[in-house]
Chains A and B, each alone.
Chain A
């Protein structure tokens, strides 16, 4: 046991010994091995630090939730199967899209060109109704319309007035009465 106080570890060397004893100079390391006082000081400090960690552990709460890991990682066989399943699924999805697109096109075509596919009897009836409507508008056949000059734009209202003047309904005496004159 070394009782020479001059060679005892000072506080800095004591801390250094706690951090890593091997970092002390060789003489100090040798002293630490033999000096009971220095050894006790060092171990006491180390004990304080150890109790610090243990108290922290004791006064910290315990975890309550369990750790949830992701779903099981697929094995190679399962992964292959899943890949096949994905491929089939993708193909089915593409097919479904095509079917929907195709179906929509057919419906649209039916709507647009539906007239072509209606029965001929229905078409005849429609044509007949068109002719009837034309006759209601003007019963004269086209030939007579030519003769009657019905369609000539030059024969306007003034021309007809010239051909067939409007009949004067007022007499000469009534006209003079309106003007305030008399024949006498």
Chain B
């Protein structure tokens, strides 16, 4: 696991440097999509599909449901794109829709759980024999361990702390974008992020895993 790790600070700096061109292009695409250009919207879908899908998957841990929710998100965005006032805020706006869809999903899931005894939805990945010679066996074990550790950490965070933490380090949004997405002010976001990081720092399991990944 000696892959190159992108530094968050570097990432944000890189973003500010490189996004001037891409953000202009993005704004142009959003404006064209607002005018009913379907092709422009299709390009926006291509650009953000993976991000939206992952964002959903991180929160519900079900591939099939994540696919369906991502589809819903883009349909909703297609219908409502004319309501965007600031095209530069498209990403935050799209992520807001995604979070709303995820909330709807959890609400429906809670309602269904009233009538169902077993409503465990977090899917495990296809079973791989641990003793087998398959090259993906080790990767499977690492993946399972990683998501288990993440689950343990996220369960210790409050709802808001968890959301801010995920948006910052999993979805790579900056503080300003998180504030826009959650419709909170920046100091509130920072407070929740601070508390989340303080709890994260006390988790030796995941930190050891990450240190090994860095090395």
Interface residues, chain A, with chain B CB atoms under 8 Å away: 11-12, 15-16, 18-20, 23, 43, 45-65, 67-70, 72-73, 75
Contacts and interface: CB of A to CB of B under 8 A. Distances in A.
Interface residues of B, number: 49
B57 A19 contact: no
A48 B146 contact: no
B134 to A, nearest CB: 17
A48 B193 contact: no
A61 B58 CA distance: 10
Contact of A63 (B38, B53, B125): B53
Nearest to A21: B9
Contacts, number: 106
Given A60-B58, A63-B67, 13 more contacts: A15-B201, A19-B175, A43-B9, A45-B201, A50-B8, A51-B5, A51-B210, A56-B150, A57-B54, A60-B57, A65-B67, A67-B74, A69-B45
Given A55-B213, A61-B63, A68-B71, A11 B5 contact: no
A19 to B, nearest CB: 5
A64 B125 CA distance: 15
Nearest to B72: A67
B143 interface: yes
A69 B38 contact: yes
Given A20-B190, A53-B170, A54-B5, A70 B75 contact: yes
A123 B213 CA distance: 108
Nearest to A61: B63
A159 to B, nearest CB: 90
B214 interface: yes
A145 to B, nearest CB: 87
B105 interface: no
A63 B70 contact: yes
B172 interface: yes
12 contacts: A19-B193, A19-B194, A45-B201, A46-B8, A49-B169, A51-B210, A56-B170, A63-B49, A65-B71, A67-B70, A67-B71, A68-B71
Interface in B33-68: 36, 38, 41-42, 45, 49-50, 53-54, 57-58, 63, 66-67
Lowest 5 A-B CB distances belong to which pairs?
A63-B53, A59-B143, A48-B210, A50-B8, A51-B5
A131 B70 CA distance: 88
Contact of B54 (A60, A67, A70): A60
B158 to A, nearest CB: 16
Given A59-B146, A60-B58, A70 B169 contact: no
